[in-house]
């Protein structure tokens, strides 16, 4: 028999995992595939959200009905750090005459020699590497294959079917209540019934401290400083121009709330919120985080209309913007971490005349879009025209 082994954290398991599993069974001509949720991964810090038992149960729900697939609690039962070398020894003893095929992604394969006792793994199993097929990656993978084969390993390379979802993205989508398209039947209910991954939490009317903590947990780490900077700049501008300080802080915190979600998932978010998109948005899903952020601010965080609208237009602007809209648009540009030619002039203008700073931001955004050869949102051009028609000028023109 040829037995595939697919280990992982599965926190939570999703259709990407199950597609990879089905693909492996077919391509590797497996007689069985054993899915093994780890107890504690050797090189990952523990991610909260669900217990080992719960990850096991969700994986069982996901694998239900998949022929030749089964789920094993072998690593959870062993407790402690889940070393693949130990798991394979155990499986080898249970299946002395069978071929074991260990599935892994490119990153894991390239770092294989730094795993715990890699020789022991190579003795017990064929390594099946699922790679994405990009040129650089392919070269690195092939070099590693030669190296490991010279050491006695058996390696097979498998082109991976693309599934644009990771468990990290999925945990965000769960909070935004948009994860269902990526979960196998029964898993969504399982998660919601137990309130896992923050789904049981009420995000409406959080205190400022609780809001900040919730927002930061949903951002990519490299965006945290920008968001806090934008919040601080928004509050300063609100103080200068007499806007509501609380609204400014909340809008600043939430303005990039869906930024971590990439293109295809932005489209899913819109779909789940029942939004029909125009051609421009469908073709430029990267610009959608302002729209999806405003939907999440409204429906998940229960924010008021001023906050929601400010988030909605923070990337494109629009004609006749309200005070908070202008403040968030400009704060996003001038917050302390920003560093681009002209930022000092814009910071100065922001405290003298909000419309001048707004015009500078809009025109610099237009220039940027043109340089990138991208299509410009109509709202941005309209916003510039609106200000120009009212005689607003940039400092250079004055």
Q: Which residues bind Fe ion (CB under 5 A)?
A: 256, 332
**Measured distance CA(227)–CA(212) in Å, rounded:** 10
CB of 339 to Fe ion, least distance (A): 14
CB of 100 to Fe ion, least distance (A): 47
How many alpha carbons lie under 13 Å from residue 219 in its C-beta half-sphere?
Answer: 19
> 75: closest CA among 10, 127, 7?
7
Under DSSP, the state recorded for 84 is: H
Cβ(117)–Cβ(105) below 8 Å? no
Angle at 333 between CA 245 and CA 351, to 5 degrees: 55
Cβ(124)–Cβ(147) below 8 Å? no
CB of 286 to Fe ion, least distance (A): 10
**Beta bridge partners of residue 7, listed in sequence order:** 36
Angle at 46 between CA 45 and CA 49, to 5 degrees: 145
Q: What tokens were used for 186?
A: 């029964």
> 121: closest CA among 84, 95, 161, 76?
84
CB of 254 to Fe ion, least distance (A): 11
Class of residue 369 by CB neighbours under 10 A (exposed 0-12, middle 13-18, buried 19+) = middle
The 8 Å CB, 24+ separation contacts for 220-227 are 220/259, 220/260, 223/256, 223/259, 223/260, 225/337, 226/256, 226/335, 226/337, 226/338, 227/252, 227/253, 227/255, 227/256
CB of 30 to Fe ion, least distance (A): 45
Q: Based on CB atoms, which residue is closest to Fe ion, 141 or 228? A: 228
Q: What tokens were used for 18?
A: 């199950």
Q: Residues near 171 by Cβ (< 8 Å), separated by ≥ 6? A: 11, 12, 49, 197, 198
Q: Based on CB atoms, which residue is closest to Fe ion, 169 or 256? A: 256
Q: Based on CB atoms, which residue is closest to Fe ion, 188 or 258? A: 258
Q: Based on CB atoms, which residue is closest to Fe ion, 39 or 287? A: 287
Q: Based on CB atoms, which residue is closest to Fe ion, 240 or 286? A: 286
Q: Based on CB atoms, which residue is closest to Fe ion, 88 or 227? A: 227
CB of 249 to Fe ion, least distance (A): 15
Q: Based on CB atoms, which residue is closest to Fe ion, 57 or 332? A: 332
CB of 179 to Fe ion, least distance (A): 22
| Strand residues in the chain grouped as ranges (E) | 2-8, 32-37, 69-71, 99-105, 126-131, 155-159
Q: Based on CB atoms, which residue is closest to Fe ion, 22 or 216? A: 216
Q: Based on CB atoms, which residue is closest to Fe ion, 17 or 226? A: 226
Q: Based on CB atoms, which residue is closest to Fe ion, 23 or 338? A: 338
Q: Are strands 126-131 and 69-71 parallel, antiparallel or unpaired?
A: unpaired
CB of 315 to Fe ion, least distance (A): 5
CB of 277 to Fe ion, least distance (A): 18
CB of 135 to Fe ion, least distance (A): 32
Cβ(74)–Cβ(101) below 8 Å? no
Asked if residue 307 has a cis previous peptide bond (ω within 30° of 0), the answer is no
**Residue reference for tokens 């084969």:** 149
């Amino acid at each position: 028999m040829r037995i595939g082994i697919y280990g992982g954290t599965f926190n939570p398991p999703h259709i990407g995992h199950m597609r990879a599993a089905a693909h492996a069974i077919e391509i590797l001509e497996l007689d069985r595939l054993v899915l093994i949720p780890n107890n504690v991964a050797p090189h990952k810090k523990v991610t909260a959200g669900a217990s080992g038992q719960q990850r096991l149960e969700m994986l069982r729900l996901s694998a239900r009905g998949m022929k030749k697939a089964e789920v094993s609690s072998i690593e959870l039962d062993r407790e402690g750090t889940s070393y693949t070398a130990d798991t394979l020894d155990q499986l080898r003893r249970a299946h002395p005459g069978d071929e074991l095929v260990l599935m892994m992604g490119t990153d894991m394969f390239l770092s294989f020699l730094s795993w715990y006792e890699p020789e022991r793994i190579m003795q017990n199993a064929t390594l099946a590497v699922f790679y994405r097929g990009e040129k650089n990656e392919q070269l690195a993978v092939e070099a590693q294959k030669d190296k490991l084969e010279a050491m006695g390993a058996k390696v097979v390379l498998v082109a991976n079917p693309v599934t644009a979802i990771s468990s990290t993205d999925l945990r965000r989508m769960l909070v935004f209540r948009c994860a269902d398209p990526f979960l196998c039947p029964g898993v969504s209910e399982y998660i919601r019934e137990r309130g896992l991954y923050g789904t049981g939490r009420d995000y409406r009317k959080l205190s400022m401290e609780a809001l900040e903590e919730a927002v930061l947990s949903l951002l990519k780490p490299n965006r945290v400083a920008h968001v806090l900077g934008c919040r601080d700049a928004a509050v300063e501008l609100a103080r200068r121009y007499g806007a509501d300080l609380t609204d400014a802080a909340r809008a600043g915190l939430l303005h990039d709330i869906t930024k971590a979600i990439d293109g295809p998932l932005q489209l899913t978010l819109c779909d789940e919120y029942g939004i029909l998109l125009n051609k421009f948005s469908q073709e430029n899903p990267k610009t959608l985080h302002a729209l999806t952020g405003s939907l999440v601010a409204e429906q998940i965080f229960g924010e008021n209309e001023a906050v929601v609208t400010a988030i909605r237009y923070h990337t494109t602007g629009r004609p006749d913007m309200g005070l908070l809209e202008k403040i968030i648009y400009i704060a996003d540009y001038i917050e302390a971490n920003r560093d681009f030619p002209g930022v000092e002039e814009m910071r100065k203008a922001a405290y003298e005349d909000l419309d001048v700073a707004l015009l500078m931001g809009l025109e610099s955004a237009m220039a940027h879009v043109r340089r990138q050869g991208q299509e410009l949102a109509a709202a941005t051009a309209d916003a510039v025209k609106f200000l120009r028609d009212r005689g607003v000028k940039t400092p250079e023109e004055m």
